[in-house]
A = this chain, B = another copy of it.
């Protein structure tokens, strides 16, 4: 079937995590070198996600890439920083301040430049601060216009660098504009550029009461737009960023089935917040769960699965899953 199972992780997964209560972090902050050392200890890891503006800056790209390669890793994707500085607090692409909007677009372009320079050609765009918290606080139409215009400008800037938009329904705003698989698919439709697609952060899908597999299928159906994948898990009401499959094992199994079915060949990238755990161990566990679930899938009869999906009888789905999982 040609499944390309390549694992990466967001670099900061290996660093100390903070939250609004423990602002100084649950452990010691690490240097970039220490992050790479932690990453190197994960046997199956071949990629790492870097933040444009943090890890990667104008001028240091070559040096950074060398370091990454020295640790036997590739840069999987670059994430332009649009969410961690106070200046973006009231929005990046949708800010009411023209100067901020311009800065935000430029930040993305710089990350695109870097992505091209290091031959990774993939940029992850998360509009975390673009949204609103209260009623009567936003001009929703204008905000969408700004997102669309900004995206088109970026897309046309370097057509051979792909932009993967990561949607999320809430946090850090109580409501984020690009919040659901439906909205992001609509956005890519409207933007209508070959190099604009989607990062599916599966926890964001769960948080929006989506079935992860259906979201994969939708992105296939509407323009083959699944460019990138972020793996984690949660209890459905918040982006808890836990080890994938720690909660929704069955839904993860279906997710992986559909990733195969649409012939996804991008990264399987771990994006968790191991606040109280060792980052290396947490990433190893994340990858081992995915590998274990794929092994379960591989033992199952695909024709039989397909027959059951076409029939739609839940007791048959239950039975085949159960027998697959318990090796019956």
Contacts and interface: CB of A to CB of B under 8 A. Distances in A.
Interface stretch (A31-39, A58-66, A193-201, A242-250): A242-250
B175 A186 contact: no
Nearest to A208: B209
A285 B318 contact: yes
A19 B22 contact: no
A213 B135 contact: yes
Contacts of A145: 221
Contacts of A189: 186, 189-190
Contact of A251 (B23, B128, B190, B247): B247
A138 interface: yes
Interface stretch (A68-76, A149-157, A232-240): A232-240
Nearest to A183: B182
Contacts of A17: 20
Contact of A321 (B24, B136, B242): B136
Interface stretch (A85-93, A104-112, A115-123): A85-93
Interface residues of A, number: 112
A214 interface: yes
Nearest to A237: B237
Contacts of A27: 86
A218 interface: yes
A309 B238 contact: no
Total copies of the chain: 4
A183 B221 CA distance: 12
A328 interface: yes
Given A84-B22, A237-B209, A136 B257 contact: yes
Interface stretch (A3-11, A40-48, A274-282): A274-282
Contacts of A284: 315
Nearest to A182: B182
What 3 pairs between A and B have smallest CB-CB spacing? Answer: A182-B182, A182-B183, A140-B217
Interface of A: 17-27, 83-86, 89-91, 96, 128, 132-142, 144-145, 169-172, 174-175, 179-186, 189-190, 208-209, 211, 213-214, 217-218, 220-222, 234-238, 240, 242-243, 245-251, 253-254, 257-258, 273-278, 281-282, 284-285, 288-289, 292, 295-296, 305, 308-315, 317-322, 325-328
Given A135-B317, A141-B220, A292-B328, 20 more contacts: A18-B20, A19-B19, A22-B83, A133-B276, A134-B314, A134-B317, A135-B321, A137-B308, A137-B309, A137-B314, A140-B217, A144-B217, A174-B238, A175-B211, A180-B183, A180-B208, A245-B250, A249-B249, A274-B314, A289-B322
